[in-house]
Amino acid sequence: MLAFAWIFWDFFQRQVLFAIKQQADWGHTLIIPFIAGYFVWLCRNRLLERPFKRAWFGIVLLIFGLGWYTLCALGPMALHHHNLMGIGVGASLVGIVLFIFGWNAMKYLWFPLLYLILFGQTISDRLMEVVTFKLQDIASIGSYYGLSFLGLDVTRSGNTIDIFYDGELYPLNIAEACSGMRMLMAFFALGVAMAYTGLRHFWQRAILVLLAVPTAVFVNILRVMTLGILSIADSGFATGDFHTFIGTLWLIPAFLIYLGIVWLLKNIIIEDDEEVDDEVSASTEIKFNQSTTVGFVIVIGLLTTSAVALQVGVQALNVYLHKEAVYPRQDLAVIPSSLGPWKSVGEDSRFDKAGVEALGTDMYLSRNYSNPVSAAPMVQLHIAYYTGQIDAVPHVPDRCMVAGGFIPLTAEPVTVSIDVGDKSWLLDAENELDGTQIPYVTKLNPVIGKEEIIHMPLGEFEIRTTEFSHPELGDDRVIAGYFFVANGKTTAYPEQIRLLAFNPASKYAYYCKVQFTIRGNQHFTIDDYSEIVSDLSKELMPDIMACLPDWVEVTQQEIK
């Protein structure tokens, strides 16, 4: 056990952190090992009927699992993925069990092992993203028709529902937290467990598992409808802790509905009771045909050797299996409200708890800027900061604005160059990143009254833009674009974040999304957008980088 935990420590540590930090979504993974253990206990008599006999094919699976896990840990960044590493952990576990207990025992242990492997780990955002997006659509459409059936005046735009009641408008946003994904995963785990323990026939078990999907979706629609009705009484009911409480409360009727389905499946066909002799053997003694010591020594030897080899590889290749968080030097809110000719308009926007959960970070800035000197339209600036997340999926307008009812006017986002004033930046002759001198600017620090050096990011400055229309905007258009700063470099492409921010040789990881949204008339073009964003970015970039971690200092800290 200790040898197994040693080599897979990084995976287990990350899994427990997922379950604790995202308890509503993945807290159930902590009880999956106990459920799997209960499955083993149910078949203990049949399991102990014969002495265990080693199966040497288990060693092949164990070696494959250890090798695959090591490849994912030390190999290309694309393989350093929680679920890919989970394959290595699962294969190793199955290999150990098969080698020590043999094929006869595996007839009863394969299901508990498969249940543990499938439901005992968090599924990454990248794998869940498409499903979550579809479930948001289903929840919004279903709640729209449900609220309309109740006689309420309701309109729907994307994943936003507007309820008109007594002359007032009550908007309800179906965020990712309302997609039903967390309920669906819990129901899958529950459905499989109930099918295995409570139903006799395969067709009954298959139907019960399949019905987990519509049951979870249906109950989630009822939950969203409940939040919509309650928001009429008090808008605070649709946000914050009460929003989470309603989701938890609906799990009770959802569970009762599922129990009702089990009862129907049990009684849909009346058949004579069949006596099932589970008490095949009253013996509780564990017996082996061969020496147990030899088997355990071989397994422990392989695990220990692999663990040592992994640690040697980590040291030799300078790889960090776990990324540590690195936080901004200053709160993003300290970015000046006056940037040259650009002035902030109104108060900074703050999201409710559900909005922060959907965004994935509480370190963000949403502010409007206008330029009274020119006739340029107002710019909505949004900056979001993420750190320590290996498999984070950036929230970008291509997806989020579509969920809000905006209609993209181009099939794919268009990437254009912007001028952030980098031609005037100086080069730091003493500090390099990947063999390139790091650019910097000097800026007066009002606190200390002296000029300070602010290191700027490396890379070509491009912005990935999408043009949208909306039924409520008439002929006006909205253009939204973004770029990222990640570990001292910049990119416009979300898929490159892992390559920049999660370099295996870096101990720390962060990325920051900088997004500009502008509304213009039908003649407003992407070229006009690029010119306005360039003008604002020249003033803005030094202040953004003054807030973000100085990557020179971070890398020097790594060396120490």
How confident is the model over 169-181, as pLDDT tens digits? 777 776 655 555 6
How confident is the model over 241-256, as a mean pLDDT?
A: 71
Average pLDDT, the chain: 83
3-state secondary structure at position 401:
helix
The tens digit of pLDDT for each residue in 362-372 reads: 899 999 999 98
How confident is the model over 245-264, as a mean pLDDT?
A: 78
pLDDT over 90 at 484, yes or no: yes
The tens digit of pLDDT for each residue in 498-545 reads: 777 777 777 888 999 999 999 998 889 999 999 999 999 999 999 999
- Residue 282: the pLDDT is 47
Provide the token pair at 367: 């502010």
Is there a contact between 69 and 88 (Cβ–Cβ < 8 Å)? yes
Is there a contact between 354 and 493 (Cβ–Cβ < 8 Å)? no
Proportion of the chain above pLDDT 70, given as a percent? 88
pLDDT over 50 at 278, yes or no: no
- Residue 280: the pLDDT is 46
- Residue 285: the pLDDT is 73
3-state secondary structure at position 349:
coil
Residue 82 pLDDT grade (very low, low, confident, very high; cuts 50, 70, 90): confident
For the ranges 221-225, 273-277, 353-357, 477-481, the maximum mean pLDDT occurs at 477-481
Is there a contact between 462 and 416 (Cβ–Cβ < 8 Å)? yes
3-state secondary structure at position 382:
strand
Residue 205 pLDDT grade (very low, low, confident, very high; cuts 50, 70, 90): confident
How far is 25 from 186, CA to CA, in rounded Å?
Answer: 8
